[in-house]
A = this chain, B = another copy of it.
Amino acid sequence: MSKSPVVQSVEKANTDYAANFGEKGKLPLPPGRHFTVLTCMDARLDPAKYAGLSGGDAHVIRNAGGRASDDAIRSPVISYKLLGTKEFFVIHHTDCRMVLFNNKIMGDLLSKSLEQAVVDENGWRDVGQEPGSPEGAKIDWLTFTDDRQDVIDDVKKIRNHPLIPKSIPVYGYLHDVKTGKLEEIKEAAEIGKAA
């Protein structure tokens, strides 16, 4: 089977990247700047660029919403415990799709069809023909309604987790997708400060 245009373009980009890999092949495994960023999977975000990361600098954890899910606790614990990071950043962003649905909407949409849903001023609707699944109703989709409060909530969750040392500061920021700016969320910083 021939490769899709996306696969071909990714493989071509990688060939070019590897051809100019240079000294990057000698980077040590532990993050050189000893910190970890938890942020959203959003396609507009490039944490290496918005936070100034070079290869080998920092761990980057990304998921839908940049949420401190159970798995987003597993990863920073490995990050500090086995790889020596000492500061954590939680960085959410404006205009996140996570505010535009909730568990009820997502469970209903997935029960009707596994194809893409569309959204307009009348809300979400399914247009696909592929059958749905009841499994979507069993998942907590970790949506939120306020992008600042959500940063505070996630910093609090990490700060209070029994496996996160009190010596590690947890910072909270909101990335503005219109300007590229990181705004420090002061209340999160207060909650997340190291003891």
Contacts and interface: CB of A to CB of B under 8 A. Distances in A.
A25 B55 contact: no
B84 A97 contact: no
Contact of A55 (B6, B33, B43): B43
Interface string A24-55: 11010111111110000111101011111101
Q: Interface residue tally of chain A, by bracket?
A: 35 or more
Contacts of A69: 71, 74
A44 B71 contact: no
A55 B95 CA distance: 15
Interface string A177-188: 111111010000
Nearest to A11: B182
A141 B63 contact: no
A117 B77 CA distance: 11
How many copies the complex holds: the figure is 2
A167 to B, nearest CB: 7
Contacts of A64: 61, 74-75, 78-79
A135 B116 contact: no
Given A17-B49, A114-B165, A59 B41 contact: yes
Nearest to A10: B51
A4 B41 contact: no
Nearest to A169: B4
Contacts of A70: 70-71
Interface string A1-21: 100101101111111111001
